[in-house]
């Protein structure tokens, strides 16, 4: 007698549709997020009219439950469809299983429950879409197209059939681990030229997501004991996109450039207009101001929004810039202003807005002073105050429903308020510390003299603009694949004063790949010219040097030892005096003892103090090239400039700075 297997209700899991190249790609939420969505679904029921919002993905996304859509919080992104999934299907040519709609899943589950309860199989279920599903047994279920009217189906109809699976446990899908609720540190990442950030032409959001994933994995592998003990949580990385604003309708620069672009080699010219021209824009007073304002306002906006969503956050903030993005941040940090007590101007509580638009201490006073009080309700609904209003763009005001006329008035006053705030900082020279770098005069005896970096004139190469202030003190600034050194040299800066440091940021790391054609060093323009200090080698995240580098250095040492032995033998049998040999060729070609040890193997404990940009520590850090890259450095030059977003070694260096003295465990394979 056959024992009928009891029916067990299905365990639902929530998915979202992350489209890739206009194709559906259904991805599962983490178990924690899925359970959070399921709990909310169970509480509100299907008849609930009010929208219910559930935060997911480390609070970077909100899911509107009734709408079944996932919305990004920090950046612009098309809303993604969300499903409560239980049944999945896959065709013979498909790579992955696709979830059925919730309605079809309910029909399939009801039919499956009846078949299980009655132990009746080989039954057919016709779907509302016209397809037919055959329940062969609890493990084998097949869907056939609507053209199939007779069974068994024809060979052609067999190829169009789809395999059905019930529950996520029966399909090959990796459910991601949830993210810790506690955020220890916030990092803003600024991109370089162009809309694409890596060799796969992905945007800044995708690349930052990749870096965040690498960081999360390294925390689990290298800081596991601290994570398990709840000593540390996680690091949040947020993208800062300035390219979209520069090339948007507000500036209109793309249309102007298009009118003067030649029609030949169209794709190459379009690529140049989208990427290389950003360098020229940054050296234009008009567009440099736009770029710097966009970066600073976006960072401040994201910082404010992050604090709203993480009200208990007590950690620090750091900055990462790639390529031109690192130069933008360098200039921005160099021109931050502090009071005598070290407080940024933007954080002063006693700064009142005083311009031609009036002197106001509150949002209510400001709007009433310009006859705009009727819009107070809208701004109060969005939890606006004077500080947050000054961080808004015109698009932000449009999105919340402020009409065109009042919107223009508000933006005009905001512009004047910002200018007043910036101007008040310049006026009080006796209360502020003026940022300066050291520069050697070209026309006189080489000396190091203080130069006001903020007021470089056009002859020096740095355009004169008003630098906005950040709303926080960064803990560290990481430059990846950075041309900072080159730009400073082109601007006429011969040497950075060893005593100079950023006014509000005490740590600075210049990270580069050895084959990166855009990257330049920083330490040589701090140290004296007679010092030749190689960059620090960034340790491999698996705890050792790459094997091909060890082999290369091993062969170098062997050849050095062999040449040394041959020299000793030759000296013992030769009548020629040793000094004469030294004047010949053999001794001069033999590496010294210092050269036998790779300069990149130096420990930081043995280094020379390198100024104060990184609190006296080393600044230049070089990645290890991969074995395949070492075969042809020219072939991988472009890729090396775009490698940082996926570099686990770079991510680990960032984590080491963030977590300081917490013990790091090397992860050997």
Determine contact, residues 320/212, Cβ cutoff 8 Å.
no
Cα separation, 148 vs 80, in Å, equals 34
Looking at residue 21, its pLDDT comes to 77
Q: Give the helix ranges, DSSP H, for 275-402.
A: 277-282, 285-309, 324-334, 363-368, 376-381, 386-390, 394-399
Q: How far apart, in whole angstroms, are the C-alpha atoms of residue 326 and residue 656?
A: 20
The label of the residue with tokens 């069974």 reads 151
Q: What's the whole-model pTM score?
A: 0.74
Closest CA to 188 of 470, 453, 530, 588: 470
Give catalytic residues, as residue numbers: 323
User: What are the pLDDT digits (tens) for 90-145?
Assistant: 998 888 999 999 999 999 999 999 999 999 998 889 999 888 999 999 999 999 88
Euclidean distance between the first and the last CA atom of the chain, given in angstroms as a whole number: 52
Radius of gyration, alpha carbons of the chain: 31
Q: Which two tokens stand for residue 370?
A: 């310009």
Q: Is the Cα dihedral 647, 651, 656, 657 positive or negative?
A: positive
Strand partners, 165: 88
pLDDT at 396 (0 to 100): 81
Cα gap 523→521, rounded to integer Å: 6
Query: What is the helix, strand, coil percentage profile of the chain, to 5?
Result: 40, 15, 45
Q: What is the DSSP string of 488-556?
A: HHHTT-----TT---SS---EEEEE-TT-SS---SGGGTS-TT---PPEEPPPTTSS--HHHHHHHHHH
Contact predicate 14/37, CB 8 Å: yes
**How much is the pLDDT for 148?**
60
User: Of 269, 275, 223, which is closest to residue 247 (Cα–Cα)?
Assistant: 275
What pLDDT is stored for residue 175 in this prediction? Answer: 95
Which domains are present in the chain?
13-166 (no CATH), 368-413 (1.10.150.50)
Residues of the chain scoring pLDDT < 70: 1-4, 45-48, 147-159, 339-361, 415-462, 544-607, 661, 663-669
From CA 66, how far away is CA 48, in angstroms rounded?
8
Nearest partner of 218 among 619, 543, 537, judged by Cα: 543
- Count CB-CB contacts under 10 A for residue 167: 15
Q: How many angstroms separate the Cα of 483 from the Cα of each of 322, 489, 516, 517, 664?
A: 9, 10, 10, 9, 31
Listed in sequence order, the residues at least 6 apart from 48 whose beta carbon sits closer than 8 Å to its beta carbon are: 66
Average pLDDT score over the chain: 80
Task: Give residues with Cβ within 8 angstroms of 47, minimum separation 6.
Answer: none
Strands 474-480 and 536-537: unpaired
CA 570, CA 549: separation in Å to the nearest integer?
Answer: 31
What pLDDT is stored for residue 342 in this prediction? 58
Digit-coded pLDDT (tens) for 615-647: 999 999 999 988 777 777 778 788 888 999 999
* Amino acid 2: pLDDT: 61
Residue 57: Cβ within 10 Å count = 19
- What tokens were used for 136? 């062969």
DSSP 8-state symbol, 604: G
Residue 81 belongs to what H/E stretch? strand 80-85
């Amino acid at each position: 007698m056959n024992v009928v297997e009891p029916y067990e209700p299905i365990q639902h899991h929530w998915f979202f549709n992350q489209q890739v190249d206009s194709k559906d790609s259904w991805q599962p939420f983490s178990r924690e997020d899925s359970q959070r969505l399921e709990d909310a679904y169970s509480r509100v029921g299907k008849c609930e009219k009010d929208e219910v919002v559930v935060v997911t993905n480390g609070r970077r996304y909100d899911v509107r439950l009734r709408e079944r859509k996932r919305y990004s919080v920090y950046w612009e992104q098309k809303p993604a469809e969300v499903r409560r999934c239980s049944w999945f299907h896959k065709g013979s040519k498909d790579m992955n299983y696709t979830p059925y709609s919730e309605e079809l899943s309910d029909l399939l589950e009801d039919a499956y429950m009846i078949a299980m309860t009655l132990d009746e199989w080989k039954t057919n279920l016709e779907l509302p879409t016209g397809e037919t599903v055959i329940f062969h047994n609890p493990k084998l279920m097949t869907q056939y197209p609507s053209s199939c009217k007779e069974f068994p189906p024809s060979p052609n109809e067999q190829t169009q059939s789809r395999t059905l699976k019930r529950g996520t446990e029966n399909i090959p899908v990796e459910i991601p681990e949830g993210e810790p609720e506690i955020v220890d540190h916030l990092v803003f990442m600024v991109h370089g030229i162009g809309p694409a950030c890596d060799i796969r032409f992905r945007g800044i959001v995708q690349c930052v997501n990749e870096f965040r994933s690498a960081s999360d994995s390294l925390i689990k592998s290298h800081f596991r004991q601290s994570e398990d003990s709840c000593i540390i949580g996680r690091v949040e990385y947020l993208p800062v996109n300035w390219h979209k604003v520069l090339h948007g309708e507000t500036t209109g620069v793309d249309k102007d450039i298009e009118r003067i672009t030649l029609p030949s080699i169209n794709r190459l010219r379009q690529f140049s207009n989208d990427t290389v021209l950003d360098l020229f824009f940054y050296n234009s007073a008009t567009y440099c101001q736009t770029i710097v304002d966009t970066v600073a306002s976006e960072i401040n906006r994201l910082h404010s929004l992050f604090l709203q969503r993480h009200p208990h956050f007590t950690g620090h903030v750091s900055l990462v810039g790639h390529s031109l993005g690192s130069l933008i941040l360098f200039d921005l940090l160099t021109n931050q202003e502090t009071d005598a007590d070290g407080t940024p101007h933007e954080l002063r509580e006693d700064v009142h807005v005083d311009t031609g638009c009036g002197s106001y201490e509150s949002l209510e006073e400001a709007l009433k002073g310009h006859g705009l009080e009727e819009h107070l309700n809208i701004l109060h609904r969005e939890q606006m105050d004077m500080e947050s209003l000054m961080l808004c763009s015109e698009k932000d005001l449009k999105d919340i429903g402020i009409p065109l006329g009042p919107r223009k008035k508000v933006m005009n006053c905001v512009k004047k308020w910002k200018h007043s705030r910036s101007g008040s900082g310049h006026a009080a020279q006796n209360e502020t510390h003026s940022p300066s770098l050291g520069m050697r005069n070209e026309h006189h005896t080489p000396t190091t003299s203080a130069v006001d970096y903020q007021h470089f004139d056009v002859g020096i190469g740095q355009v004169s603009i008003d630098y906005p202030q950040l709303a926080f003190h960064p803990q560290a600034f990481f430059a990846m694949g950075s041309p900072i050194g080159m730009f400073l040299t082109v601007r006429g800066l011969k040497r950075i004063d060893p005593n100079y440091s950023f006014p509000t940021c005490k740590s600075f790391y210049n990270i580069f790949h050895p084959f990166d054609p855009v990257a330049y060093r920083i330490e040589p323009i701090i140290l004296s010219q007679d010092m030749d200090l190689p960059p620090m080698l960034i340790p491999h995240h698996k705890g050792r040097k790459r094997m091909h580098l060890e082999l290369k250095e091993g062969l170098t040492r062997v050849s050095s030892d062999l040449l040394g032995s041959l020299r000793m033998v030759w000296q013992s049998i030769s009548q020629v005096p040793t000094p004469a040999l030294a004047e010949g060729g053999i001794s001069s070609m033999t590496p010294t003892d210092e050269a036998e040890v790779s300069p990149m193997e130096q420990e930081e404990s043995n280094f020379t103090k390198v100024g104060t940009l990184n609190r006296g520590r080393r600044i230049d850090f070089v990645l290890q090239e991969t074995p395949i890259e070492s075969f042809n450095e020219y072939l991988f030059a472009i890729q090396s400039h775009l490698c940082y977003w996926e570099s686990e070694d770079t991510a680990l260096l960032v984590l080491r700075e963030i977590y300081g003295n917490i013990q790091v465990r090397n992860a050997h394979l």
